Structures are given as structure tokens and as C-alpha cells.
Amino acid sequence: MLREEFSDDVLKLRPRELRLGRDAERLLNDVCGTEGERSKSAHKSRLRPDADSINAIRCADCGQVEYISRDYCRCGHYLAGQLMDEFLAWERGLVETRDRLAAAAEEKMKPVRWVGACGMPFIVWPLLHSVFSAGSTALAIWLWLIPGFAIMGFCALIETWITAARDASAHAVETATFEQFLSERVPAPSH
């Protein structure tokens, strides 16, 4: 009855091929494929991620690449512990960098602090003179504040410039997250 209602062209139609992702097709071939397809796919890597992927980790024991979400490698190595060790080493490196930059900034700031201390008399003397003098203070006395403020401002600018790297490193340590570690541990591919 159906053959009579439709033309011959309709009977010659073929269904469309459905293309899935590469990993999904391999998984389906492994589960429900023929024996020949299964033996071919056994030689390929069995659903392993690319080595330069952010979701990949290389097993320290066998050297195979596994997904980062797996707790254990297929060889039995504990991947979650390996990943946590890498994270803690990365975090220790950040802290060591911050400490090294803080010590270097402290050494560079010693002469700047001495210059700032040399500028303090220019600020303190006019203030003390106005407190202890009975009459009005002359304008020349108040002009002594200008070099004091200039020296202190110059020292503040130098301190900001010297401690910028230390402050950036301290901010990196404070805001370090596991996601940031994952994005930094895989180098960006160069094209």
C-alpha cells in the first residue's frame, strides 16, 4: 500500500549520517561496534585527552595522559595527590617569590627612608616655631615647609615605584586559586 502512494524517488532515499564527536564515536564503537572495529580502536588511545589540554595531566608513574577529573591513573597511580602536590609546589613558588621581592624592596628602601628622615626638620621646625613664638610667624618661616613636603613626596613616589613588584606579588599570592593554577600549568600553544 505504501509503494503505491509514494513515487520511486522516495523509496531510494537514504537516511542522513549522524556525526558525533571523535571521543563519542570511539566510545560507541567500543561498546556496540563489531569485533573488527573494536580491535582497530584498541590500538588507538582509549579516550585520553590531548597532552596540551587544560583538562589533562601526565601521570608521573607511567607517563600516560589522563583527564584531570580522574582520581587514579589506569596504572593505579593516585593522580589527585599528584595534582595537589603540583598545586602546593606552585603556591610555595609564589610565596617564595613574594618573600624574595619583599626582602629586596626592604633593602632598597633603607636609603629612601634616610632621605625622608632628612626632610622631617623642614616640616617640624616651622611648626615648632609657630607654637613657641609669641607673635605672628613670618612667611619666610612657613616657606620652609615647601622643601620638606617636596622631599617627603619624592620619597613617597620612590617607595611606590620600588614596592610595586612586591605588592603585585603579594596580590598574586592572596588571590591564587586552583583554577588559576590549572590555567597556568599548561603553556599556551604557539601558532
What is the SS3 assignment for 69?
A: coil
Domain chopping of the chain, boundaries: 1-47, 48-77, 88-185
Q: How many residues does the chain have?
A: 191
pLDDT computed for residue 41 by the predictor: 47
Exposure string of 17-42, with b = 16+ CB inside 10 Å and e = fewer, is: eeeeeeeeebbeeeeebeeeeeeebe
pLDDT computed for residue 129 by the predictor: 84
Dihedral angle computed from the Cα positions of residues 50, 55, 60 and 62, in that order, rounded to the nearest 10 degrees: -40
- Global pTM value: 0.57
Give which of 86, 89, 65, 87 is closest to 75, Cα–Cα.
65
Q: Specify whether the CB–CB gap between 132 and 160 falls below 8 A.
A: no
pLDDT computed for residue 44 by the predictor: 47
Residues of the chain with pLDDT under 50: 1, 38, 41, 43-45, 191
Element spanning 180, H or E: helix 178-185
pLDDT computed for residue 33 by the predictor: 56
Residue 59: count of CB within 10 angstroms of its CB: 19
